[in-house]
Structure formats: C-alpha cells, structure tokens
Amino acid sequence: MPQFQTACKVSDIPAGKGKTVTVNGVNIALFNVGGVFKALSNTCPHRGGPLGEGDLSGTVVTCPWHGFQYDCNSGGSADGRPFSVATFETRVNNGVVEVGI
Ligand code: FES
C-alpha cells in the first residue's frame, strides 16, 4: 500500500495545467486533468526533461525538452516511442492533493 503524502493544494493547479512537486524526496509531475489529479515521475526517460513543466493536452503531456509525449493515465508513450514513466495514485483530502508513494 502506498503512503499518501501532501503534494500541494487543489487550488495550486488549475484544470489543464501541471506542476512539479517533491513528495517524500521524489520529484513528481502532477497534472489537473479536468478536475482529476494525475501523478507521474517528473523525469522524462529520454534525457531527463522535467515533465511537470510540459504542456498538457487532454490526458497527454509533452516533454518540454524534445517533445516526447506520455499519457497521464498509464504513463505509457502517447506517440509510439519505447518509453514510459511511473505513475502514482492521488487523492484529494480537505482541499489538499496527496500522492501515494
Ligand atoms: S528529455 Fe524528454 S523528450 Fe527528451
């Protein structure tokens, strides 16, 4: 079972946006996908780009460094490349987003 830890306030990330947060020493890319929070490893497996700074379109985030795309639901590639990132559970508790690490 993951341990849920505070990541940020719900109000910190508007719908359609993302943010890099550090939870329990792990850098997480956290996105608000239409009111549902999705958490991925922040580190793009291509060359280490910060996915939390990438643009979100629907459920797909585009790495800001070279444009590789990942699906926030699965962590899998959204553009057919042989890369994927870890995903983490999230939950909202009293206006706070928590990530399960
Ligand atoms: S580091 Fe993310 S696409 Fe290259």
- Look up the CATH number of the domain holding residue 78: 2.102.10.10
Q: Is residue 99 part of a domain?
A: no
Q: Which of 1-5, 49-53, 54-58, 62-66 has the lowest mean pLDDT?
A: 1-5
Residue 68: C-alpha distances to residues 39, 48, 60, 101 (Å): 17, 11, 10, 25
Residues 84-94 have pLDDT tens digits of: 999 999 999 99
Q: Is residue 36 part of a domain?
A: yes
Q: Is the dihedral of CA 93, 97, 98, 100 positive or negative?
A: positive
Of the pLDDT bands very low, low, confident and very high (cuts 50, 70, 90), residue 5 is very high
State if residue 44 touches ligand 1 by the CB under 6 angstroms criterion: yes
Q: Is residue 5 part of a domain?
A: no
Q: Is residue 4 part of a domain?
A: no
Residues 20-60 have pLDDT tens digits of: 999 999 999 999 999 999 999 999 999 999 999 999 999 99
Q: Which of 42, 55, 66 to mutate to test the pocket of ligand 1 (most atoms within 8 A of CB)?
A: 66
State if residue 70 touches ligand 1 by the CB under 6 angstroms criterion: no
Give nearest CA residue, ligand 1 atom 3. Answer: 66
Output DSSP code: residue 50. B
Q: How far apart are CA 76 and CA 78, in angstroms?
A: 6
Query: What pLDDT is recorded for position 2?
Result: 85
Number of domains into which the chain is organized? 1
Token pair in block for residue 78: 């959204």
Q: What is the model's pTM?
A: 0.96
Q: How far apart are CA 59 and CA 74, in angstroms?
A: 10
* Domain that residue 30 falls in: 19-91
Query: What pLDDT is recorded for position 1?
Result: 78
Q: Is residue 61 part of a domain?
A: yes
Q: Is residue 11 part of a domain?
A: no
Query: What pLDDT is recorded for position 29?
Result: 98
